[in-house]
Chain A
Amino acid sequence: MNFDFSDDQKMIKEQVRKFLADKCGYAVTRRVLEGKEPYSRDVWKGLVDMGLTGTAIPEEHGGLGLGALELCVIAEELGRVAAAVPFSSSVYLASEAINLFGTDAQKANWLPKLAAGEIIGTLAWAEGTHQPTARNIKTSFAGGKLNGEKLPVPDGSYADIAVVVVSAGGKGISLAIVDLREAGVTRETLTTVDIVRDHARLTFKDAPAELMSDQGNGEAQLARLLDGAAVFFAFEQVGGTEAAMNMARDYAMERFAFGRVIASYQAIKHKLADMYVKLELARSNAYFGAMQLNDQSAELPEAAATARIAATDAYCFAGQENVQVHGGIGYTWEADTQFHYRRSKLLSLTIGSPVNWKNKLVSCLEARNAA
């Protein structure tokens, strides 16, 4: 039985944790919150300098050639500090998509730049206030030109390239790559619940683009991409849950009410115990997701959904109840509780809502039982 990360992977985790503890405190993230920076540029530069943007990109394309497990430990640490960087968009989504489904030319062109942090990538999938499905995607690709509107697109205000989910003209969906710096692309920054993480509306008007694969294969490719991302995001959520739980615990140990520390009240202790229970369920399920992703297992869809559901439940609970434990001070702008309150909601929806992932999980269980 070896259901744990290796010593090397734990070492990477420790390095990232130290770097972020040093350079990415809440005061740094607050500068983004208060509109002084679009994202934490120094933190991003530090991550790039450590080579982390190229973690899972093959060496032949300028990456470190490591795997999913290494990305998972990095994700947990980024989630712990609720970092304001475009790592998830550029690494779990754009780089992974190109590495998995890009043509040789596309890989050679884009992966070295993504690995080196010269450019930031993202995934443009949703088209408004409803679940995007293969049937309702309207953004179209024809004759090398992209037309339509995508929102919300993570890091869309400054990303250099996007993998775009496009309608394949009555044959489902496809993935296309567009250079967002070219003509035909307009961007508008959106107001969202987690303004620490930029989201934008992208409008394409005959924007030059390239398909990543044969038309119509997109649905399975997108599903595979999102399964992987679900695992990486689950680790961010696990890190965030632990941080929110510790923030609540530390505050409860200092705050006095009715003549004693509030941490001595069972109403508070049981809330914290519930956070711990959800955290450990989420961690165990996230580990299994990581294992299936790394092994390229056929069980990945089920494991990824399970990881995502558990992690979403844990982080949303901890994000909310952390504010509650703090009481009035936790509801103020000055308090750092808001970072996890905001981030937990964003991550619960960013690649599809809990309801939809639960539905998907049960479909996997149905298929397995039937087999």
Chain B
Amino acid sequence: MDFNDTPEEAAYRAKVREWLAANAKPKSDANDNLRLAEVLKRSKAWQATKAEAGYACITWPKEWGGGGGSTIESVIFGQEESKYDAPAGVFAIGLGMCIPTVMAWGSEEHKKRFVKPAVRGDEIWCQLFSEPAGGSDVAGLRTRAEKDGDEWVINGQKVWTSGAHYCDYGIVVVRTDPNVPKHKGLTMFWVDMKSPGIEVRPIKQMSGDSNFNEVFFTDVRVNDDQRLGNVGDGWKVALTTLMNERLAVGGGMGGTSVKDLVEMARSTEMDGMPALQNGSVRERIADWYVQEQGLKLTRYRTLTALSKGQTPGPESSISKIVSAKKMQDLGAFAMDMQDIGGIIRDPEISAENASPQEMWFGAAGYRIAGGTDEILRNIVAERVLGMPGDIRVDKDVPFNQMPRGK
């Protein structure tokens, strides 16, 4: 057992390091609070540089602007890239979920038109699935599209759309037939986010921050050739997108690590001595360390399979279940250690620049986003352990006859 690269991997890493040293900018604190326009400008410039050299979408075929490389090469590049100021966040959803959907279901014309510009970072995509009435049960969505000649007219509302305010295009799943059971009446389209009738409003989260949008559709007209897949196949198409979502969301969110917590406990007084000497503090530090280390090492097991050219096992499905709750608990406990002072959420005053407070707020959303704790447990039970799905009372009921709440 070892964590070393194979000779081929080592050669690839050396090549990547050399290229990054010549082309990427070093990390800098000055970039923390950039305005959106500047973030977009820098992100697009860096994406174009990578695409030029074959380092954007490394696993995609070269004919689509990718690198024609392996998954392990993509991982190695990501590891090395993360040491630099290399902004890629705005492309994560488009390249992680939307464009793979276009590649799987779009016409040749769509693919020619959209894939390369997205890889180069010229165009940014968002995903319009969740609705106020359909989160975990996204197939319960109500936004409708009605056929009008060669066009469809979309009306309704989407929520939790990351980046909608700066995206050029989006994929949207809508109800085209309310007279059939819910999964059968959906259809997927791509839309131009500048279309008349699309209105993007920021959502104010419970933390007071705004990282997501709601998107209103009022008589938005799309052409029938913007359809991805057949009419009524929208759920099948959406599954392509969602299969990629957990990979995109599962990465964790940083914040105070267990190592940071040890330092905090060393310097925080509790009951007249350093908190680190308190038995209950020590026990919880140990528990979180075991989880943090366990997740890191589980990734190494997945990478080992990739490195050997094998399909990884299902072990990575535990990642977000563990990391989201740990983030919430660790944040809460780091606040507890500061006693009543833990309520202060001010980077100037709070320990760790108020990172525990931000983690505690952020985790409440992270436990829901991209598969709730509960849905992810269902997925482990059903897909990994082979247990049966839930009994669905709405399975054979036409959508417009389904019981609905407010």
Which residues of A does B touch, CB under 8 Å?
1-5, 69, 245, 249, 252-253, 260-261, 263-264, 266, 268-270, 272-274, 276-277, 280-285, 287-288, 290-291, 294, 305-306, 309-310, 313, 355, 357-359, 361-362, 365-366, 369
Q: Are B378 and A277 in contact (CB under 8 A)?
A: no
From B384, which residue of chain A is reached at the shortest CB distance?
A276
Interface SS of A by simple majority: helix
| A276: B residues at CB distance < 8 A | 318, 380, 384-385
Q: Are B303 and A272 in contact (CB under 8 A)?
A: no
Q: Are A3 and B377 in contact (CB under 8 A)?
A: no
Closest-CB distance, B88 to chain A (whole angstroms):
22
Question: How big is chain B's contact interface, by range?
Answer: 35 or more
Which of B293, B303, B380, B387 is A306 in contact with, Cβ under 8 Å?
B293
The answer to whether the Cβ of B272 comes within 8 Å of any Cβ in the partner chain is no
| B263: A residues at CB distance < 8 A | 369
Give A274 to B378 CA distance when docked, in angstroms.
10
Give A370 to B212 CA distance when docked, in angstroms.
41
Q: Can you show 20 pairs from A to B with CB atoms below 8 A apart?
A: A1-B5, A2-B1, A3-B301, A4-B301, A4-B305, A249-B386, A249-B387, A263-B387, A264-B388, A264-B390, A269-B377, A269-B381, A272-B387, A285-B293, A287-B297, A288-B293, A362-B276, A362-B285, A362-B289, A365-B262
Which of B283, B307, B387 is A2 in contact with, Cβ under 8 Å?
B307
Inter-chain contact count A-B, CB under 8 Å? 163
Query: In B246-262, which residues have CB < 8 Å from any A CB?
Result: 258-259, 262
Q: Are B374 and A266 in contact (CB under 8 A)?
A: yes
Give A1 to B381 CA distance when docked, in angstroms.
29
User: What 8 A-B pairs come out closest when comparing CB atoms?
Assistant: A281-B294, A269-B381, A358-B286, A284-B297, A273-B377, A273-B380, A291-B1, A3-B300
The answer to whether the Cβ of B339 comes within 8 Å of any Cβ in the partner chain is no
| B282: A residues at CB distance < 8 A | 358-359, 362
The answer to whether the Cβ of B290 comes within 8 Å of any Cβ in the partner chain is yes
Q: Are B262 and A369 in contact (CB under 8 A)?
A: yes
Q: Are A273 and B290 in contact (CB under 8 A)?
A: no
The answer to whether the Cβ of B389 comes within 8 Å of any Cβ in the partner chain is yes
Known pairs A260-B391, A277-B322; A249 contacts B385 (CB<8 A): yes
Most buried by A among B285, B286, B295, B307: B286
Q: Are A69 and B1 in contact (CB under 8 A)?
A: yes
| B377: A residues at CB distance < 8 A | 266, 269-270, 273-274
The answer to whether the Cβ of B298 comes within 8 Å of any Cβ in the partner chain is yes
Known pairs A264-B387, A280-B318, A366-B266; A285 contacts B294 (CB<8 A): yes
| A263: B residues at CB distance < 8 A | 381, 387-388
| A355: B residues at CB distance < 8 A | 279, 283
Closest-CB distance, B318 to chain A (whole angstroms):
5
Give A312 to B163 CA distance when docked, in angstroms.
43
The answer to whether the Cβ of B4 comes within 8 Å of any Cβ in the partner chain is yes
| B315: A residues at CB distance < 8 A | 280, 283-284
| A281: B residues at CB distance < 8 A | 290-291, 294-295, 298, 318, 322
| A270: B residues at CB distance < 8 A | 374, 377-378, 381
Give A280 to B385 CA distance when docked, in angstroms.
13
Q: Are B290 and A313 in contact (CB under 8 A)?
A: yes
From A277, which residue of chain B is reached at the shortest CB distance?
B318
Binary interface encoding of chain B residues 263-307 relative to chain A, with 1 for a CB under 8 A from any of its CBs, else 0: 100100000000010010011011101110111011011011111
| B306: A residues at CB distance < 8 A | 1
The answer to whether the Cβ of B382 comes within 8 Å of any Cβ in the partner chain is yes
